[in-house]
């Protein structure tokens, strides 16, 4: 898993990485520790496929002031999977790299 | 860990949050593996996550093997929303000697004038005023070098800038190199970008939108105050451990007091529902 889900930075590599993550998940069965790892990997990879953005800003009370921003910037696992499966967005210039 | 109110349990592997009516009600953990594994449920009104990052999911990382993103994944699987999960910091100069985790060649080496070059001796970053570009930010350094050419083995050449002073001035890096048979005073150090730090965290909405859950993480509180942003700065981890660890403790204590008060007065509490219909998907 670490070899195949390594430092992949273009959209094709990320998509391939997500496919591998899913394969690993299916092969591992309902093992909670593995599911936790693959969930994190999906979140990272899924959201990496989205357009570049700045980090979410928080108000002093710790809450986002804009609900739309909050929803957009707070992905859940299902959202990450959906984004990963539907995204064809290119990454920003300078990140078109596979190492 | 000598605080009498703290009981340290070692040898447990947390695997899943126990959920009750959409709120965290405890934690499943196990000991052992395979047929010898035993499952435990720790019932509690609040859970603090201090589970580390996810660098070990990557092929090359400076993180320990235990940093596999299990805490983040556990929270996500329980329904927590996650903020900025894709913000992963890569350190450009982990020492590529096949060790896991990869030892770090500190950026102070480049600050002293060491050059990041490819196998042909060509610099990845052009020289700038007073060598500033050679000390570019970690994220930029990690993503820029391969942009205009095929990725090749990069090395950190410290011979001219540091040379014989290396053992005295950078003893930790020197020891890591010599263990791999490399004398950095005489040879370039093979380096590679490595996953170094994860800025993702649980969302504050998880708490703010109670009764969704009761899990708290010091790192989340830190980053919600914009201490980290997409690229963490050195020593921000200290903030997380000290300042925001304290805040997490206070929030945790407040949650427990609320739970105790609700129990005393025997009245419904919207943020702390009675413990019933315990559910958790387990194999």
B41 forms beta bridges with B28
Would you say the C-alpha torsion B109, B159, B181, B150 has a positive or negative sign? Answer: positive
- Assess contact for B62 and B94: CB atoms under 8 A: yes
- CA dist B86 and B238 (Å) reads 22
Instruction: Calculate the average pLDDT of chain B.
Output: 75
Q: Would the CB atoms of B54 and A40 count as touching at under 8 Å?
A: yes
Yes or no, beta carbons of B76 and A5 under 8 Å apart = no
pLDDT at B272: 45
Tell which residue, B66, B87, B63, has the closest CA to residue A44.
B87
Q: State the DSSP string of B191-225.
A: EEEEEEEE--EE-THHHHTTTS--EE-HHHHHHHT
Q: Over the stretch B136-166, which tens digit does the pLDDT of each residue have?
A: 544 444 444 443 344 557 899 999 999 999 9
- B139 neighbourhood in chain A, CB within 8 Å: none
Tell me if the pTM is above 0.80: no
How confident is the model at residue A90, as a pLDDT? 44
A92 touches chain B (CB under 8 A): no
Is the Cβ of A44 closer than 8 Å to some Cβ of chain B?
Answer: yes
Cβ-based contacts of A39 with chain B (< 8 Å): 69, 72-74, 76-77
Tell me phi and psi for residue A96, to 5 degrees.
Answer: -85, 65
pLDDT band at B123 (very low <50, low <70, confident <90, very high): confident
Give Cβ neighbours of residue B139 (< 8 Å, ≥ 6 apart). B89, B90, B230, B231
Per-residue pLDDT for B219 more than 70?
A: no
CA distance B134 to B236: 23
pLDDT for residue A74: 60
Residue for token pair 């998509």: A15
The two counts, helices (H) then strands (E), for chain B are: 8, 11
**Pick from A86-95, B8-17, B93-102, B160-169: least confident:** A86-95
Percent of chain B beyond pLDDT 70? Answer: 69
pLDDT of residue B266: 54
- Whether the per-residue pLDDT at A43 is higher than 80: the answer is yes
* Angle of helix A32-48 versus helix B70-77 axis, rounded to 10: 90
Interior/surface letters B45-66, b for 16+ CB within 10 angstroms, e for the rest: bbbbbebbbbbbbbbbbbbeee
Residue B52's pLDDT is: 80
Among B76, B82, B224, select the one facing A62 at the smallest CB separation. B224
Q: What is the ipTM of this complex?
A: 0.74
Helices (H) and strands (E) in chain A, counts: 4, 0
A73 to chain B, minimum CA–CA distance in Å? Answer: 6
- Kindly identify which residue of chain B lies nearest to residue A5, measuring between CA atoms: B58
The predicted structure's pLDDT at residue B160: 92
Residues of B in contact with A38 (CB under 8 A): 73
- State whether B71 and A36 contact (CB < 8 Å): yes
Task: Inspect the interface and report whether the beta carbons of B80 and A98 lie closer than 8 Å.
Answer: no
Closest Cα of chain A to B208: distance in Å?
A: 7
Percentage of residues in chain B having pLDDT higher than 90: 27
What residues of A are in contact with residue B83 (Cβ under 8 Å)? Answer: 56, 73-74
């Amino acid at each position: 898993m670490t070899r195949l889900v390594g430092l992949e930075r273009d959209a094709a590599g990320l998509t391939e990485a997500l496919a591998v993550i899913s394969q690993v998940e299916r092969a591992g069965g309902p093992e909670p520790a593995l599911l936790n790892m693959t969930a994190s990997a999906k979140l990272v990879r899924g959201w990496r496929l989205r357009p570049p953005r700045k980090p979410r800003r928080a108000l002093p009370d710790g809450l986002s002031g804009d609900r739309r921003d909050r929803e957009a910037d707070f992905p859940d696992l299902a959202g990450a999977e959906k984004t990963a499966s539907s995204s064809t967005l290119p990454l920003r210039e300078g990140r078109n790299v596979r190492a | 860990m000598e605080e009498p109110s703290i009981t340290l349990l070692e040898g447990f592997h947390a695997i899943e949050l126990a959920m009750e009516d959409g709120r965290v009600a405890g934690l499943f953990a196990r000991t052992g593996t395979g047929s010898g594994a035993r499952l435990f449920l720790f019932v509690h009104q609040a859970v603090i996550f201090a589970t580390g990052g996810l660098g070990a999911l990557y092929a090359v990382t400076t993180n320990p093997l235990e940093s596999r993103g299990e805490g983040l994944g556990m929270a996500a699987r329980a329904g927590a929303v996650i903020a900025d999960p894709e913000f992963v910091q890569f350190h450009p100069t982990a020492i590529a000697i096949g060790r896991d985790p990869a030892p770090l060649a500190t950026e102070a080496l480049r600050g002293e004038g060491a050059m990041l070059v490819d196998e042909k001796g060509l610099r990845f970053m052009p020289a700038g005023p007073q060598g500033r570009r050679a000390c570019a930010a970690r994220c930029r350094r990690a993503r820029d070098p391969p942009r205009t050419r095929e990725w090749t083995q990069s090395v950190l050449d410290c011979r001219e800038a540091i040379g014989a002073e290396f053992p005295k001035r950078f003893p930790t890096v020197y020891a890591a190199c010599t263990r791999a048979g490399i004398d950095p005073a005489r040879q370039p150090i093979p380096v590679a970008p490595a996953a170094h730090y994860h800025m993702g965290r649980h969302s504050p909405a998880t708490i703010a939108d109670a009764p969704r859950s009761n899990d708290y993480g010091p790192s989340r509180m830190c980053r919600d105050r914009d201490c980290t942003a997409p690229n963490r700065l050195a020593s921000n981890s200290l903030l997380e451990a000290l300042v925001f660890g304290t805040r997490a403790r206070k929030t945790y204590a407040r949650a427990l007091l609320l739970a105790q008060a609700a129990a005393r007065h025997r009245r419904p509490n919207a943020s702390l529902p009675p413990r019933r219909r315990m559910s958790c998907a387990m194999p």
